[in-house]
């Protein structure tokens, strides 16, 4: 039935940017239950509060079924926006209005909507190098010109943003907490510096913060958004319920100035009308009880133990020449191998031993380092971490 005759020239130029994510291709390998996967960016299912979510859906459908199943405003369910605005206000010690919140179908949609309103073909955008692969995929569709910026253990090196770069960019995209893929956290001074640069040169910063609540060591840093309230309103903060509740719900939000939210609302209206009314109402039911605070303690504990277990095993099993980041939260750490070891070649050997990870090269917009890789500790139980890291250690010993 598939005798398709549409010629290639019928498709858009943009469609040539489309590729199947390398991570997804790797994840297909991991479908075997024998595989120990450090590749996925999945939250630990044991952290999903299934019965709490079930009660919330039940309550909404029992009490407000007809509203929950009808079309609803593009901006999102007002009580949910209000709740998020109140939480953010407390965090910022300032007054954020519900009108500054747009509910989205997961943070990935936020990236698509932001691309729509900010990126023209060839627009300059500043990004960390390496950066989140899903963001690159989203931006790619709108054909920007990437300006990759260097990072170190304190996150993005803010001094690398020269006035020339600041003047020509459409935005800076940054993951300040437990960055995907490196696990690094932006330090306080650089946060203040970035916000000042954004104010001085009038460029927006997209602060993608899906992991911020998953800090398991050290002191929380203020968000760029909270710092910006002293200086201006250029920060666009992305939050997600995927990592603190459950990703299968597809729920996130954008916090920004009303001016930006208004444009994003119009873009979202043309993109998918609105996010599921039922899901928004059910998540609001959970949030308003205060359940999340207690729940976060559990998730952080799971991730803390698994990250310690991974690092301890690496210290025992990996050769001395290998180094890695020590994340204070989130789901990932970043490994740097001796320069002569190619992590994609290493992956091929690892797959034979039923262990997978993501080679670092996929996370760079340019100047890929072939001797880096990302390990996720979020979904792997401790005994499997021990087994999988030991296998990788042996493979590295062979070089």
Residue 106 vs 359, nearer CB to its own copies = 106
* CA 120 – CA 68 distance, rounded (Å): 37
Smallest gap from Cβ 108 to its own copies, in A, equals: 5
Smallest gap from Cβ 322 to its own copies, in A, equals: 29
Task: Name residues contacting its own copies, limited to 192-251 (CB under 8 A).
Answer: 199, 202-204, 229, 232-234, 242, 246-250
> Binding of its own copies at residue 20 (CB under 8 A)?
yes
Task: Name residues contacting its own copies, limited to 281-310 (CB under 8 A).
Answer: none
Q: How many CA atoms lie within 13 A of 310 on its CB side?
A: 29
> Binding of its own copies at residue 37 (CB under 8 A)?
no
Smallest gap from Cβ 117 to its own copies, in A, equals: 4
Smallest gap from Cβ 30 to its own copies, in A, equals: 13
> Binding of its own copies at residue 125 (CB under 8 A)?
no
Residue 115 vs 307, nearer CB to its own copies = 115
Stretch that binds its own copies, among 131-139, 307-315, 323-331, 355-363 (CB under 8 A): 131-139
Residue 43 vs 176, nearer CB to its own copies = 43
Smallest gap from Cβ 18 to its own copies, in A, equals: 4
Query: What tokens were used for 39?
Result: 């590749």
> Binding of its own copies at residue 188 (CB under 8 A)?
no
Task: Name residues contacting its own copies, limited to 255-274 (CB under 8 A).
Answer: 257-260, 263, 265-267, 269-274
Contact pick of 33, 34, 50, 367 for its own copies (by CB under 8 A)? 50
Contact 132, 267 (CB under 8 A): no
> Binding of its own copies at residue 330 (CB under 8 A)?
no
Contact pick of 22, 29, 57, 351 for its own copies (by CB under 8 A)? 57
Residue 277 vs 336, nearer CB to its own copies = 277
């Amino acid at each position: 039935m598939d005798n398709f005759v549409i010629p290639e020239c019928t498709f858009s130029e943009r469609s040539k940017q489309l590729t199947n994510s390398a991570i997804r291709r790797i994840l297909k390998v991991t479908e075997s239950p024998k595989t120990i996967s450090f590749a996925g960016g999945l939250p630990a299912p044991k952290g999903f509060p299934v019965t709490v979510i079930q009660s919330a859906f039940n309550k909404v459908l029992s009490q407000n079924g007809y509203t929950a199943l009808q079309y609803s405003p593009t901006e999102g369910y007002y009580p949910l926006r209000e709740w998020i605005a109140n939480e953010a206000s407390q965090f910022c010690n300032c007054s954020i209005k519900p009108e500054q919140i747009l509910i989205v179908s997961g943070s990935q949609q936020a990236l698509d909507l932001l691309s729509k309103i900010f990126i023209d073909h060839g627009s300059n955008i500043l990004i960390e190098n390496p950066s989140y692969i899903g963001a690159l995929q989203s931006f790619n569709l709108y054909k920007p010109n990437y300006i990759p910026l260097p990072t170190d253990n304190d996150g993005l090196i803010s001094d690398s943003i020269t006035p020339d770069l600041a003047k020509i960019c459409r935005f800076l995209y940054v993951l300040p907490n437990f960055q995907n893929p490196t696990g690094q956290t932006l330090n306080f001074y650089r946060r203040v510096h970035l916000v000042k640069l954004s104010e001085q040169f009038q460029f927006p910063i997209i602060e993608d913060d899906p992991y911020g609540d998953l800090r398991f060591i050290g002191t929380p840093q203020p968000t760029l958004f909270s710092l910006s309230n002293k200086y201006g309103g250029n920060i666009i903060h992305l939050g997600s319920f995927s990592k603190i509740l459950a990703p299968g719900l597809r729920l996130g939000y954008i916090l920004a100035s009303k001016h930006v939210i208004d444009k994003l609302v119009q873009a979202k209206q043309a993109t998918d009308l609105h996010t599921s009314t039922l899901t928004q109402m059910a998540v609001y039911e959970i949030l308003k009880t205060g359940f999340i605070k207690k729940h976060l303690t559990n998730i952080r504990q799971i991730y803390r133990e698994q990250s310690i277990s991974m690092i301890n095993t690496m210290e025992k099993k990996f050769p001395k020449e290998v180094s890695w980041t020590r994340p204070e939260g989130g789901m990932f750490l970043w490994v740097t191998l001796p320069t002569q070891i190619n992590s994609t070649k290493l992956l091929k050997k690892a797959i034979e031993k039923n262990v997978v990870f993501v080679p670092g090269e996929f996370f760079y917009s340019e100047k890929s380092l072939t001797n880096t890789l990302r390990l996720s500790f979020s979904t792997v139980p401790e005994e499997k971490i021990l087994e999988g890291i030991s296998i990788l250690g042996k493979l590295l010993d062979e070089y």
